[in-house]
Amino acid sequence: MPTLENIVTPALIVDGDMVEANLMAMSTALPGDRLRPHVKAHKCTQLAKRQASHGHIRFCCATVREVVGMAAAGLGTDLLLANETLDASRLAPLEACVTVAVDSLETIEAAARAGGAVEAVLVDVNVGLPRCGCKPEDAGRLADAARSKGLGVRGVMGYEGHVVGLEDRQQRIDQTSQAMEILQRAHADVGGNVISAGGTGTYDINTWATEIQAGSYALMDTAYGKLNLPFRQALWVWSTVISVSDEYAVLDCGLKSLGMDHGNPQIEDGQVWFCSDEHTTFSTQAKVEVGDRMRVTPAHIDPTVAYHEALHVVQNGEIADTWPIDLRGW
C-alpha cells in the first residue's frame, strides 16, 4: 500500500470520513428515489456502491461507458443515460434497466434500435442551458414518436446547468423556478411520472423535480465550495514541489491533472499564479522546499477525476484503500 510520503504525484487523495459525511448529509436531505446520483462526477463504482449503501440505488450516467460499467458492477437496477447518444446499441446486451435521454427523432430511433436493456426514454428539454434538449413545444411530439417506436416514456428531463453555480442564492432560486416552469409545461405534454433535473447547486432549491441529478456533492470542488452548501471538500490533488525560487515555487501538477474550466485550483495559504501542462506556479508566505508535498484543490471535480486512474482513500492520515476510477473513457 502506498503512503502519502512515497506515492507517485500528482495523485488524487480522498478523505474517506469526509466522503461518508457528505453521503450521509445528502441521504438525509434527499432520501431514496429523491436523488439520482450522477456518477460522471467521480466515475468510480466503489464510490457508487457507497452511495447505494445510503439508499441511493438509481443512478445517472453521462456516457455509454459509464452505463456499461455500472451494470457490470451490479448497479444496474435503474440507470439513466442523461445524454443524447446515437450509439445506444452498445446497451442492448446489458442485464440492467436503462432509460435514455432523447431530444430528436434520430436519438429516439437509436434508442429503439438498441432493444434489450433500453426500455424507456426521458424527453430532454432545453430549459435555458444552450446544450442538449429539444424546444419545449416539441416535447409532446417527440414523446408520441417514442411511443410509436415501442418505447416507454417515463417523463422529462431538463438541466438548469446555467443556474447551479450562481453564488447568489436568491438568483439560483429565481432562475431555477423559471427553468422548471418551462420543464413543467413540457411535462404536461409528454406525460409520465418523472421530472428529472437539478444538480448539487440546486439540490435543496429544485422542489419541482421528482428526482435530482446531483453528483459533485460527494467529493466537492472550489466552485461549489463558494455556495455555502452542507458538503465539504473531500478530494484534493496531492502534488510535489519540484522547483523553488525567491518569488515563487512550482508543483508537479498542471493542466493534465486538473480540471481548469472553472478557473485555477487553490492552495492553502498560497496564491496560484498559473497552470501549464505539468506545472502549477504559485507563491506563498510559508517556507517551502523542493520535495515538499502539498494539497491542490481543484475548481471543477468532474474533469479533474477523469484525468486520473485511481482515488486514494485516506483515513487517520494514512492511505487506507485505493478505488479505481473504472468508468473513465468512452
pLDDT band with cut points at 50, 70 and 90 for residue 279: very high
- Per DSSP, the chain holds a count of helices (H) and strands (E) of 8, 15
pLDDT higher than 90, residue 119: no
Contacts made by residues 105-110, CB under 8 angstroms, sequence distance 24+: 105/142, 105/145, 108/142, 108/145, 108/146, 108/149, 108/151, 109/149, 110/85, 110/86
- For residues 266 and 272, the answer to whether their CB atoms sit within 8 Å is yes
User: What is each CA distance from 68 to 6, 43, 145, 310, 323, in whole angstroms?
Assistant: 34, 12, 26, 19, 18
Nearest alpha carbon to residue 208 among 163, 170, 178:
178
Enter the pTM of the model: 0.95
State how far the Cα of 10 lies from the Cα of 290, in Å rounded to an integer: 15
pLDDT higher than 80, residue 322: yes
pLDDT band with cut points at 50, 70 and 90 for residue 2: confident
Q: What is the mean pLDDT of residues 276-303?
A: 96
The answer as to CATH 2.40.37.20 being correct for domain 231-324 is yes
How many CA atoms within 13 Å lie on the side-chain side of 108? Answer: 22
pLDDT higher than 90, residue 116: no
State how far the Cα of 330 lies from the Cα of 288, in Å rounded to an integer: 40
- For residues 135 and 185, the answer to whether their CB atoms sit within 8 Å is no
* Domains of the chain by residue range: 17-218, 231-324
Give me the residues paired with residue 240 across strands. Answer: 293
Predicted pLDDT of residue 184: 98
Provide the 10 A C-beta neighbour count for residue 77. 13
State how far the Cα of 293 lies from the Cα of 309, in Å rounded to an integer: 20
Task: Name the superfamily (CATH) of residues 17-218.
Answer: Alanine racemase (3.20.20.10)
Q: What is the mean pLDDT of residues 112-126?
A: 91
Predicted pLDDT of residue 115: 78
- Cα dihedral sign for 80, 81, 86, 87? negative
DSSP 181-220: HHHHHHHHHH-SSEEEE--GGGTTT--SSSEE---GGGT-
pLDDT higher than 80, residue 269: yes
Q: Would residue 39 be called left, alpha or beta, if left means φ above 0 and alpha means ψ between -120 and 50 degrees?
A: alpha
Q: What is the mean pLDDT of residues 240-244?
A: 98
Angle at 42 between CA 86 and CA 87, to 5 degrees: 10
Predicted pLDDT of residue 50: 98
pLDDT higher than 80, residue 117: no
- H or E element in which residue 271 lies: strand 270-276
Q: What is the mean pLDDT of residues 58-70?
A: 97
Average pLDDT taken over every residue of the chain:
97
Nearest alpha carbon to residue 303 among 78, 43, 82:
43
pLDDT higher than 80, residue 1: no
pLDDT band with cut points at 50, 70 and 90 for residue 95: confident
Q: What would the pLDDT profile of 151-183 be if each residue is shown by its tens digit?
A: 999 999 999 999 999 999 999 999 999 999 999
Q: What would the pLDDT profile of 4-33 be if each residue is shown by its tens digit?
A: 999 999 999 999 999 999 999 999 999 999
Residues in Cβ contact with 244 at an 8 Å cutoff, skipping those fewer than 6 apart: 250, 288, 289, 290
Percent of the chain beyond pLDDT 90?
95
Predicted pLDDT of residue 300: 97
State how far the Cα of 205 lies from the Cα of 92, in Å rounded to an integer: 36
pLDDT higher than 90, residue 112: yes
Give me the residues paired with residue 295 across strands. Answer: 238
User: What is each CA distance from 213 to 23, 124, 158, in whole angstroms?
Assistant: 14, 13, 10
pLDDT higher than 90, residue 48: yes
